Amino acid sequence: MPRLLVIIMKVLFLTSNKNKVIEANQTLSKLGYEVEQFLIEGVAPKIVEPQSSKIEIVSEYKIQQALELISGTDFESHALLVEDSGLFIKSLNDFPGVYSSYFSETIGNQGILKLLLNEESRDAEYRAFSIMYSDGKYFHALGKCLGRISNEIKGSNGFGYDPIFIPNSGDGRTFGEMEDYEKESKSHRGESLRILYDKLSLPSK
Out of 74, 84, 135, 198, the active site residue is: 84
Q: Please, what is the minimum distance in Å from the beta carbon of residue 158 to ligand IMP? A: 5
- Side chain identity at residue 53, one-letter code: S
| Chain residue at closest Cβ approach to ligand IMP | 160
Determine if 162 is a binding residue for ligand IMP (CB under 6 A): yes
Q: Minimal CA–CA distance to 130: which of 188, 201, 186?
A: 188
Determine if 143 is a binding residue for ligand IMP (CB under 6 A): no
Q: Minimal CA–CA distance to 70: which of 80, 59, 58, 82?
A: 80
DSSP state of 34: E
Beta carbon nearer to ligand IMP, 9 or 99: 99
Q: What gap in Å lies between CA 34 and CA 28, rounded to an integer? A: 7
Question: Residue 99: CB partners within 8 Å, gap ≥ 6?
Answer: 86
Q: Which of 158, 167, 170, 190 binds ligand IMP (CB under 6 A)?
A: 158
Determine if 187 is a binding residue for ligand IMP (CB under 6 A): yes
Q: Which of 100, 109, 134, 150 binds ligand IMP (CB under 6 A)?
A: 100
Sign of CA dihedral 25, 8, 139, 63: positive
| Cβ neighbours around 11 below 10 Å, total | 20
Determine if 104 is a binding residue for ligand IMP (CB under 6 A): yes
Q: What gap in Å lies between CA 18 and CA 136, rounded to an integer? A: 26
Determine if 160 is a binding residue for ligand IMP (CB under 6 A): yes
Q: How far apart are the first and last CA of the chain?
A: 16
Beta carbon nearer to ligand IMP, 161 or 197: 161
84 classed as catalytic: yes
Determine if 38 is a binding residue for ligand IMP (CB under 6 A): no
Determine if 13 is a binding residue for ligand IMP (CB under 6 A): no
- Given the rule CB under 6 A, which residues bind ligand IMP? 17, 84-87, 100-101, 104, 126, 158-162, 187, 189
Active centre residues (catalytic): 84
